[in-house]
Amino acid sequence: MIKVICFDFFNTLAYFYPSREETYSNICRDLGINVTPEAIGESLPEADAYWRAENYKSRISDRGQKEKFAVYTEYVVRILKGAGVEVTGDVGLQILAKAQQVGFEFKLYEDSLPTLEVLKKRNFKLGLLSNVGQDIDSDCEKLGLESFLDFKVTSFEVGFDKPHPEIFLAALKKAAVAPEEILYVGDQYDQDILGARNVGIKAILIKRNSSPTSTYDCPVISSLPQLAGYLPS
């Protein structure tokens, strides 16, 4: 019987505003570089993984200016390379400077807090499990998530990204339940669904802004209220 529901953060509970895909695409267009938001969206996960790996070594914010800019530059170069475009480090810095002027913040999907409230009233223990390269407490507090969450597990804390078993095992330890008593919801099949399954956790894939599809070998939802159909009454 499910006692705990654990959520991914990015693209499950919250999203970047403005869209990173649109922002980088528009900046590139202004610099004469043709790259679509969709292509950037495909490359961002790998670039984000690079950023987190660097932050695990030592906090990027604590490094000297030269080393900081080297990481910043490589991050943007990787975004573009993954999208099929090769740029120099100097161009990468130009893109980064323009992106920083725009600024990004997290916003919650409209159904996030209402769903958490309903689940909390049903006495489910709620958790957060996410690949992030920094402490996430302040973001959760700012977004109003903190009061609903019984525990949080991040790759920054554990030192391993999903789908590594360690991050899911850390969630099980904090939740203090057996694997069959926890349900995980995330938006990435390889990272979230397979990672959870590898330690015996049931998982549901959320694909927002798209209709549920039968091409996956797991339950698929397009909004959080649809979770109700997979929970005990």
Query: What phi, psi does 17 have (nearest 5°)?
Result: -130, 130
Q: What is the pLDDT of residues 29-47, one digit of tens each?
A: 999 999 999 999 999 999 9
pLDDT of residue 212: 60
More confident residue, 129 or 56: 129
Kindly list the domain boundaries of the chain, sorted by start residue: 4-15+107-230, 19-103
Q: Which two tokens stand for residue 29?
A: 């267009």
The domain 4-15+107-230 is placed in CATH, from the list 3.40.50.300, 3.40.30.10, 3.40.50.1000, 3.30.70.1170, at 3.40.50.1000
pLDDT of residue 103: 84
> What's the chain's average pLDDT?
94
Cβ atoms 83, 43 nearer than 8 A: yes
Q: What is the C-alpha to C-alpha distance for residues 213 and 49, in angstroms, rounded to an integer?
A: 27
pLDDT(215) > 90 = no
What single DSSP character describes residue 10? B
Q: What angle do CA 173, 190, 129 make, to 5 degrees?
A: 30
Give the closest residue to 7 by CA, choosing from 104, 105, 108, 138: 108
Name the CATH superfamily housing domain 19-103. Haloacid dehalogenase-like hydrolase (1.10.150.720)
In this prediction, residues 179-188 reach a mean pLDDT of 97
pLDDT(213) > 80 = no
Q: What is the pLDDT of residues 106-129, one digit of tens each?
A: 999 999 999 999 999 999 999 999
